[in-house]
Amino acid sequence: MKYPLAYDTWDNQEIEAIQEVIKKGRYTMGPQVKKFEKEFCDYFHCTHTVMVNSGSTANLLILGTLAEKYKLRGNIIVPTVSWSTTYFPLHQYGFVMNFVDIDKDTLNIDCSKIEDSINSETCAIFAVNLLGNSCDYVALKKIADKHSLMLIEDNCESLGSITNTDEYCGTVGEFGSFSFFFSHHLQTMEGGMIACKNKDDADFIRSMRAHGWCRDLEDGNSIYQKTGNAFHDSFTFITPGYSVRPLEMSGAIGSVQLKKWPTMRKGRLENADYFVEKFKDLPVTIQKEIGCSSWFSFSIILEDKLANCRDIIITALIAKGVECRPIVAGNFMKNPVIDTYQLKYIANGDYKNTEKIDKDGFFIGNNTKDLKENIDLVYNTIRECLGHLEM
C-alpha cells in the first residue's frame, strides 16, 4: 500500500526496552507495567490507572465492574457507531444496548437524542470518542447528573484528545478505556489501560485482571482483608476474574512511546490541518472537532454527486494504493452477530445519520509522519472520480 492506515512508530528505543526486559528475565506483568501505569496516570491526569492486554478487555473489565461490584442492571445508552468490543461486554454481562443515533458532523453520539431514549431501566451512558474526536461532555455530564446515570467512556481511538470541559478524553467518566494496538496512537504490540476515579474500583479491576485473586492488592485495601500470610493469600480468589494481564515488554514499550507522544501528536495535528484545508472544496463531510481532536484518522462522508458512489471511490483509491475502511463498524445494528446471537437492544426511531455514514462513509489513515503527498493522492483521486460522475 502506498498510503496504509497505520505506520510503525518504533525505533531503537523500543527495541532496547524489550532487550532490557529480556535481560531481567521477567516477561509477564511486573515493575515495567507498574511504572508505565504511573507515568500514564500522571501524564493524562487520571486518578487511578490499571493496564491490561487490550482496549477490548479494558471495556470488558469496566462492564464487569458495573455488573459485579455496582450490581447495575438494565440498559446502557450507546452510540450506533463504534467498534464491536464496545458492545460485546454489554451482552456478556446481561445489559441491553440502548442505541442512540450519531451526529453526522462529529460522528459521536447525538446528545440531543439521548434523553428521549432514557427509560426507567437505563443505568449508564457509554460514551465513545470516535476516530480521535471528543464527545460533547458538557451535554453528557449534564444528562448523566440529571438522570443519576453512570458515565463511562470508550476512548480507545482518542488518546490525547481534549474535551470541551478541558479534560483529557477517557478521564471524564467514572471509567475510561484506552488501546495501544499497532494502529493506535501509542503502540505497545498489544495493550490497553483503564482509568478510574475510585481506588476501590481500581483494586477490583486489578483482581479481575489476574484470575480474580487478591495477590496484586496492597495490604490495607478495602476490597479484601488479606491475611498477611503470603502462602495463604497467593491463591485466594475474591472477584470473578480473567487472565488479561499485559506483558512486561508492553509496559516497557509504553514508557518509551509516552515520551514520544508530544512529538507524535504534533505530527498528527499538522496532517489534520492540511487535510481539513485540502478537502474543504469537495462535496464531502469531514469530522468536526469538539474540543481538540487527536485525529486518529480522516473520515470522509460522500455528499451531493458523490453520494451513493462509495464503491466507485473505494475501488479507485485501492487501485492507487490507498488503504480504506468503513467508519468503524458502520451501523452496528446491521451486523450479523446481532441476530445470530440474539444480542438484546433497544431501537429508538430514526437513525438517519448512522444510515448515511453506513452507506457513504469511510476513513483513511493518519500518523505522525508528513502525509501531505498521501492526502493529495486521495484528494486528486476523488476529484477525478467526481469529474467522471459530472460528465
Instruction: Give the model confidence (pLDDT) of 300-320 as tens digits.
Output: 999 999 999 999 999 999 999
pLDDT at 232: 92
Q: Is the pLDDT of residue 26 over 80?
A: yes
**Average pLDDT score, the chain:** 97
Average pLDDT estimate for 208-227? 95
Q: Does 45 qualify as catalytic in the annotation?
A: no
Express as a percent the part of the chain with pLDDT over 90: 99
Chain segment 57-82, per-residue pLDDT in tens: 999 999 999 999 999 999 999 999 99
| Cβ-proximal residues to 16 (8 Å cutoff; 6+ apart), any chain | none
pLDDT at 15: 98
Average pLDDT estimate for 103-124? 98
pLDDT at 302: 98
β-pair partners for 194 = 50, 177
Q: Is the pLDDT of residue 123 over 90?
A: yes
* Cα separation, 148 vs 139, whole angstroms: 14
Which residue is it, cell 480521535?
A: 132
pLDDT at 273: 98
Distances 72 to 96, 124, 127, 145 between C-alpha atoms, Å: 12, 9, 17, 17
> Which pTM does this prediction carry?
0.98
pLDDT at 349: 85
Average pLDDT estimate for 252-265? 98
Which domains can be identified in the chain, with CATH numbers? Answer: 12-256 (3.40.640.10), 262-390 (3.90.1150.10)
Q: Considering 184, 185, 211, 388, which one is annotated as catalytic?
A: 184
pLDDT at 391: 77
Residue 247: which of 100, 21, 29 has the closest Cα? 29
Q: Is the pLDDT of residue 390 over 90?
A: no
